[in-house]
């Protein structure tokens, strides 16, 4: 295994250089430096046992650090998606029971009213909504209320909503 005093970690990766190139800043990140190091090494094919040896800790600790890091990244993605949904100029409630084939017209009408251009075709919109909604859409039927947001740049976002019908 690589000497911990050497700059190159497992796989011959200089972790400091990788983090610097990626613009990692522990003061502004939801990740700790250790979490960022473990993710950087894992994403480059490092095995937990090798990373543990390099960092002078146990494989179980590396597994725990990695799990926490991935959870923090997912929470950060969710937070950004939530903030974008709140600020999107187009916020369209799609109620449970809606036919997926009706969603594109609803989106186009809402975008026209807000002066926002959406660049997706109707089939693309249906696929995007279905994919993003997961099991909230089955076949052609919306099973759980959704909130479809469209940013000023035309990016479509789909979120499950406990009460999409209550949107203004």
For residue range 28-61, what is the model confidence (pLDDT) as tens digits?
A: 999 999 999 999 999 999 999 999 999 999 999 9
Residues 120 and 146 placed together within one structural domain of the fold? yes
Residue 141 within any structural domain of the chain: yes
Final residue of a domain: which of 36, 57, 83? 83
Q: How does residue 66 score in pLDDT terms, banded at 50, 70 and 90?
A: very high
Residue 2 within any structural domain of the chain: no
Final residue of a domain: which of 83, 104, 121? 83
Nearest by Cα to 36 from 19, 50, 60: 19
Rounded to an integer, the average pLDDT of 67-91 is 91
Residues 76 and 92 placed together within one structural domain of the fold? no
In three-state form (DSSP H/G/I as H, E/B as E, the rest C), the secondary structure along the chain is CCCCCCCECHHHCEHHHHHHHCCCCCCCCCCCHHHHHHHHHHHCCCCHHHHHHHHCCCHHHHHHHHHHHHHHHHHHHHHHHHHHHHHCCEEEEECCCCEHHHHHHHHHHHHHHHCCCCCCCHHHHHHHHHHHHHHHEECCEECCCEEEEECCCCCEEEEECCCHHHCC
Residues 140 and 75 placed together within one structural domain of the fold? no
Residue 145 within any structural domain of the chain: yes
Q: What is the span of the domain harbouring residue 113?
A: 88-166
Q: Does the global pTM surpass 0.75? A: no
Final residue of a domain: which of 29, 50, 83? 83
pLDDT of residue 164: 45
46's CB contacts (< 8 A; 6+ apart) are 9, 10, 11, 13
State the total domains in the chain. 2
Nearest by Cα to 161 from 94, 109, 75: 94
Residues 119 and 72 placed together within one structural domain of the fold? no
Residue 93 within any structural domain of the chain: yes
Rounded to an integer, the average pLDDT of 4-26 is 81
Angle at CA of residue 101, ends 83 and 153, nearest 5°: 35
């Amino acid at each position: 295994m690589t000497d911990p005093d050497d700059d190159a970690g497992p796989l011959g990766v200089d972790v400091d250089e990788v983090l610097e190139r990626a613009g990692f800043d522990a003061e502004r990140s939801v990740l700790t430096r250790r979490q960022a190091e473990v993710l950087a090494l894992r994403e480059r094919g490092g095995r937990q046992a090798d990373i543990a040896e390099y960092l002078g800790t146990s494989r179980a600790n590396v597994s725990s650090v990695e799990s926490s890091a991935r959870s923090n990244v997912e929470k950060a993605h969710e937070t950004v998606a939530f903030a974008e949904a709140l600020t999107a100029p187009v916020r369209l409630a799609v109620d449970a029971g809606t036919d997926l084939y009706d969603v594109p017209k609803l989106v186009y009408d809402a975008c026209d009213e807000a002066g926002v251009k959406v660049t997706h075709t109707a089939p693309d919109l249906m696929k995007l909504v279905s994919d993003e909604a997961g099991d909230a859409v089955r076949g052609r039927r919306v099973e759980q209320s959704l909130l479809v947001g469209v940013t000023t740049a035309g990016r479509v976002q789909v979120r499950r909503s406990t009460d999409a019908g209550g949107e203004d």
